[in-house]
Structure 1
Amino acid sequence: MAHVVVTIAGRTYRMACEDGEEAHLDELAKLVEDKILSLREGFGDVGEQRITVMAALTLADEASVATRKLEAAQAELTALREKEAAAREAEAALAEKIAAALEDATTRVERLSHELQSGGGETPSSL
């Protein structure tokens, strides 16, 4: 288990994290610190605890919005995949119909050709 020392709102904290996650934890602490500084600029000195809670709520709101957007994008992707599957099925069905029509036409042409070669009673114009 690794440890990282971060500073948030002027206070230093020693945090534990998984090995290799030190840089990520440091980035998260900087994100929180930046949010606190941004809120201080907008609201002035409203107290450390209150500004920290405001930063936490603001970051939670941003995460919530991002989660909703991700869920909407995943739902859209699922719908598009379903449409793609339906289109592929329709394409396969159409290909089968075309193949059947071509096979039928080939059979008819072969039959007509055979009838013409064998001197069958029908003429092409009577077909």
Structure 2
Amino acid sequence: MSNPAEPVAVQILGKEYKVACPQDERSALIASASLLDRRMQEIRDSGRIIGGDRIAVMAALNITHEMLVTRNQRESLSQNLSARIRALQDKIDHALENGQQMDL
């Protein structure tokens, strides 16, 4: 059975937005809106950027940059872990080969 999307009200910079969202994704939407609201408030409060559109774009750019940095770090860690696993697997294979040769 599908999970119907229901409107969820979120507050961003003092404005309410209703967003259609499946029930099982509701908490993630609320957390996302809360993060965006905090980031936009920080940018607005810094006084360097004026205008809701510009604040929203800067917040989106900052959050996207952080996401890409995190993704790159995760990919790097994953590649490093894969290489270490392959190296350990090669050591195990080598040890087993040596052990089998001794049994013959």
TM-score of Structure 1 vs Structure 2, range by shorter chain: 0.7 to 0.9
Mapping 1:1-127, distance limit 5 Å: 1-44=5-48, 46-100=50-104
Which has more strand, going by share of residues? 2
- Equivalent residue letter for 1:98: M
Q: Does the residue aligned with 1:17 lie in a helix, a strand or coil? A: strand
What runs of 5+ residues in structure 1 fail to find an aligned partner? 101-127
Which consecutive unaligned segments of at least 5 residues does structure 2 have?
A: none
Cα deviation, residue 43, structure 1: 3.4
Are the equivalent residues in 2 in contact too, given 1:36–1:55 (CA < 8 A)?
yes
Are the aligned partners of 1:3 and 1:22 in contact in 2 as well (CA < 8 Å)? no
How far 1:69 sits from its partner (Å)?
Answer: 0.7
Structure showing greater relative contact order (alpha-carbon pairs closer than 8 Å, 6 or more residues apart): 2
Q: Could you list the per-position Cα deviations for residues 42-92 of structure 1 after superposition, in whole angstroms to 9, with x for gaps in the alignment?
A: 234511111111000000000110110111111112111211211111111
2:82 and 2:7 map into 1 onto residues whose CA distance is: 40
Cα distance in 1 for residues equivalent to 2:78 and 2:94: 24
* TM-score computed with the length of structure 1 as normaliser: 0.72
- Cα RMSD between the aligned structures? 1.4
Max Rg structure: 1
Bigger mean CA deviation after superposition, 54-63 or 80-89: 80-89
The alignment covers a number of residue pairs equal to 100
CA contact (8 A) 1:2 1:22 kept: no
Please state how far the C-alpha of 1:3 moved relative to its aligned partner: 2.0
Identity of aligned residues (%): 25
Check the 8 A contact 2:40/2:55 in 1, yes or no.
yes
> Which one is further off, 34-43 or 17-26?
34-43
Secondary structure of the residue aligned to 2:23 is: coil
